[in-house]
Amino acid sequence: MPFSFTITNRDRSTKARTGTLKTPHGEIATPCFMPCGTKATVKTFTNDELKELGCEIILGNTYHLMLRPGANLVAEMGGLHKWINWDRPMLTDSGGFQVFSLKGLRKITEEGVTFKSHIDGSTHFLSPEEAIGIQEKLGADIMMAFDECPPHDADKEYTRKSMERTHRWLARCQKAQTRKDQTLFPIIQGGLHLDLREESAKACLDADPFGIAIGGVAVGEGKEEMWRVTDFVAPLLPESKPHYLMGIGEPDDLVRGVAAGIDMFDCVIPTRLARHGCFWNIDGVRTAIDKPEFAKDQNPLSSKCSCYACKNHSRSYIKHLMREKEILGARLLSIHNVNYLMQLMSEIRLSIANNTFTSLYDRFFKKSR
């Protein structure tokens, strides 16, 4: 099997650990943050720029890519890696999360989900077999199982039914997989119900996957609930497997997730914040570039940051660029934000190796732990 996961360091006081995740397209140092290349591009970036920031793995999005340009086209072009010219590891989601977000535009049966495209209203069908078929055509190193992510406020009965179907779908996903150079992560569901979460973790682990994901978090339930669930589920996962917490990306959440034993994170937040004119300051606090006091501020976005934006440009200039809707503004803020998370993960890995992770943690949570 062309995948392996080796734990290299363990923190003494938390569940944090560092590791090396080997894939057919290279190694990933964990814990890691994975920027989202939703439509086969991490918004505003070239691949070289991502590499310069230390990015070792990016995501692609099954739902968006199956609609445009279509999985067959990507396959004809040699797969996602070749088509976008990214030679490092990739992960594709299963499309489940997006499809289930299309409320009113989809119909769920045991077989799969019929849905209408948000682009042109055309009808499409996703099932475990289709989701794996598409992900095999895309060819990312890591595929995700086709799951249902129910609304966080669904009743327990629905959440249970949905979860059980997700487990049956997992078996169908595994059966549908034909390629040996890709690995398939199951996704733990169960909403805010800890007994369901425990049941789901067990069902996913029974499938003996290489790695495992916690899904259905950060879907509107609030941070407290999210952490109640994640702090409960994470310890149920075997130490030997990579643990992926889906859709998480605020700086403090990354730190907290690592403390809970999470190895992989993804989120659109760094580039989305950037396009909306926000950046993380030196304390990891969201800051809007359109503040009046930035108009004549010759300082960089963040005083200790070494990203291209901070080394070359002032808040004054970047504020102007964003006001004028200039692409360079979104680029500079995106570089800063992705770099912020990449540097944070690098610092986290180093602190775990040096056994100073606790003080890094305390910097974010002010000893409130």
Annotation marks residue 93 as catalytic? yes
Q: Which of 93, 147, 253, 263 is catalytic?
A: 93
Q: Using CB under 8 A, which of 44, 162, 183, 200 touches its own copies?
A: 44
User: Does the protein bind its own copies through residue 288 (CB under 8 A)?
Assistant: no
Q: Which is nearer to its own copies, 20 or 299 (CB)?
A: 299
Binding range to its own copies, per CB under 8 A, among 13-21, 40-48, 108-116, 190-198: 40-48
Taking the CB of residue 239, how many other CB atoms lie within 10 A of it?
A: 12
Residues that contact its own copies, how many (by CB under 8 A):
35
* Phi, psi of 252, deg, nearest 5: -65, -30
User: Does the protein bind its own copies through residue 328 (CB under 8 A)?
Assistant: yes
Q: Using CB under 8 A, which of 117, 174, 314, 358 touches its own copies?
A: 314
* Phi, psi of 318, deg, nearest 5: -70, -40
DSSP at 207? T
Q: Which is nearer to its own copies, 157 or 324 (CB)?
A: 324
Q: Which is nearer to its own copies, 54 or 69 (CB)?
A: 69
Q: Which is nearer to its own copies, 73 or 282 (CB)?
A: 73
* Phi, psi of 123, deg, nearest 5: -90, 135
Residues 55-114 that bind its own copies (CB under 8 A): 68-69, 73, 76-77, 83-85
The minimum distance between CB 69 and its own copies, in angstroms, equals 5
The minimum distance between CB 192 and its own copies, in angstroms, equals 35
Q: Using CB under 8 A, which of 321, 342, 344, 352 touches its own copies?
A: 321
| H helix or E strand, kind and range, residue 22 | strand 17-23
Residue from 19, 93, 83 nearest 56 by CA: 19
* Phi, psi of 3, deg, nearest 5: -120, 140
Q: Which of 147, 253, 263, 266 is catalytic?
A: 266
User: Does the protein bind its own copies through residue 285 (CB under 8 A)?
Assistant: no
DSSP at 152? T
Q: Which is nearer to its own copies, 80 or 264 (CB)?
A: 80
Reported as half-sphere exposure (CB side, CA atoms, 13 A), residue 2 has a value of 14
User: Does the protein bind its own copies through residue 315 (CB under 8 A)?
Assistant: no
Site map 10..39 versus its own copies, x via CB under 8 A:
-----------------------------x
User: Does the protein bind its own copies through residue 117 (CB under 8 A)?
Assistant: no
Residue 191 token pair: 């909403």
**Are the beta carbons of 188 and 201 closer than 8 angstroms?**
yes
351's CB contacts (< 8 A; 6+ apart) are: 357, 359, 360
User: Does the protein bind its own copies through residue 6 (CB under 8 A)?
Assistant: no
At 196, is the secondary structure helix, strand, or coil? Answer: helix
Residue 290 token pair: 């359109």
Q: Using CB under 8 A, which of 5, 11, 21, 45 touches its own copies?
A: 45
User: Does the protein bind its own copies through residue 291 (CB under 8 A)?
Assistant: no
Distance CA 275, CA 42 (A): 12
Q: Using CB under 8 A, which of 3, 228, 308, 363 touches its own copies?
A: 308
Query: Alpha helices of the chain — where are they, by DSSP H?
Result: 47-52, 62-67, 71-76, 80-84, 96-101, 128-138, 156-176, 194-206, 223-233, 251-259, 269-275, 308-312, 315-323, 327-353, 357-365
User: Does the protein bind its own copies through residue 47 (CB under 8 A)?
Assistant: yes
Binding range to its own copies, per CB under 8 A, among 43-51, 91-99, 147-155, 195-203: 43-51
The DSSP-derived string for 250-286 is -HHHHHHHHHTT--EEEESHHHHHHHTTEEE-TTS-E
Residues engaged in binding its own copies (CB under 8 A): 39-41, 43-48, 68-69, 73, 76-77, 83-85, 295-296, 298, 308, 312-314, 316-317, 320-321, 323-324, 326-328, 330-331
For the annotated catalytic residues, the residue numbers are 93, 266
